[in-house]
Amino acid sequence: MANFLNFLLPQDKKFFPLFEKASANLQAISKVLVAMVSTEDSVKRRELIKEIERLEHVGDNITHEIFNELNANFITPFDREDIHELVSSLDDIVDYIHGSAKRIEHYKIEVLPTEVVKLAELVLSAAEELHKAIIELRQLKHANKIKEACVKINSIENHADDIFDMAIGRLFEEEKDAIKIIKMKEVLSALETATDKCEDASNVLEQIIVKNA
């Protein structure tokens, strides 16, 4: 099967660079996210939120481009539905990153608890693993590297769950202002959902290697 795929690769030149563009953009927006939640300078933070918005649009365009290729090409490097699911989940991660940034801005949140920084860092780690794994898709010979990345993403997502639960628990214990609780819960849950979506992407990758390796 791997040989058959290698033979087809020249015709599928379009897809692999697009997948990598999508995961590189995800990695980029995740880096800006970490910087944005780490700074205490409100002017700097606002600039970084603008940059997150810009990268979300970039991501939308890449997603659209891949869907168009998918509809225009009869031959695809993997099952069309797997490509669709992979790209949709990368798009979802970017959306939730953008969502957390929008909430910080619209709710005029100034002080972020350490758990927000921790969750943003976990999103970045998962994004880096996804990017590595997606680069390996070109040559399924290195299926092991993809599997390793998926195992790491899985453990990142479990870790994020624990951080989220702790953060909410601490919030209910320390914060007595219900409105502040509501706002912070929304930010934390957007970030936690971002890591869930990383796991969704990782599950599709696992499926692809099982089918094709």
Assess 111 for contact with its own copies (CB under 8 A): no
The 10 Å Cβ neighbour count of residue 6 is 13
**C-alpha count within 13 angstroms, C-beta hemisphere, residue 169:** 6
Secondary structure of residue 44 in the 3-state scheme = helix
Structure-token match 């990598």, residue found: 20
Task: Name the one range near its own copies by CB under 8 A: 16-24, 28-36, 121-129, 174-182.
Answer: 174-182
Minimum CB distance to its own copies, residue 86 (Å): 16
**Binding segment for its own copies among 18-26, 49-57, 124-132, 169-177 (CB under 8 A)?**
169-177
Is there binding between residue 183 and its own copies (CB under 8 A)? yes
Kindly state the smallest distance separating residue 172's Cβ from its own copies, in Å.
6
The whole-angstrom separation of Cα 143 and Cα 149 is 10
In the complex, minimum distance from the CB of residue 67 to its own copies, in angstroms, rounded to a whole number = 8
Residues 6+ away with beta carbon under 8 Å from 171: 113, 181, 184, 185, 188
Which tokens belong to 175? Answer: 């914060």
User: Which of positions 60-79 make contact with its own copies (CB under 8 A)?
Assistant: 71-72
CA–CA separation, 45 vs 130, rounded Å? 26
Query: By CB under 8 A, is residue 7 in contact with its own copies?
Result: no
Query: Nearest-CA neighbor of 190 among 83, 103, 65?
Result: 103
By beta-carbon proximity to its own copies, the closer residue of 5 and 24 is 5
Instruction: Report residue 38 as tokens.
Output: 């780490």
Question: Which residue in the set 8, 9, 151, 210 belongs to the binding site for its own copies (CB under 8 A)?
Answer: 210
Nearest to 55 by CA among 35, 39, 72, 70: 35
Establish if 14 lies at the interface with its own copies (CB under 8 A): no
Query: Is 165 a binder of its own copies (CB under 8 A)?
Result: yes
Hey, which bits of 67-162 come out as E strands?
Answer: none
Task: Determine which residue in the list 75, 108, 110, 174 makes contact with its own copies, applying CB under 8 A.
Answer: 108
Which residue shows structure tokens 């869907």? 67
176 binds its own copies (CB under 8 A): yes
What does the per-residue mask of binding to its own copies show for 121-160, with x meaning CB under 8 A?
Answer: ----------------------------------------
* Binding site residues, its own copies, CB under 8 A: 71-72, 102, 106-108, 165-166, 168-169, 172-173, 176, 178-179, 181-183, 185, 207, 210-211
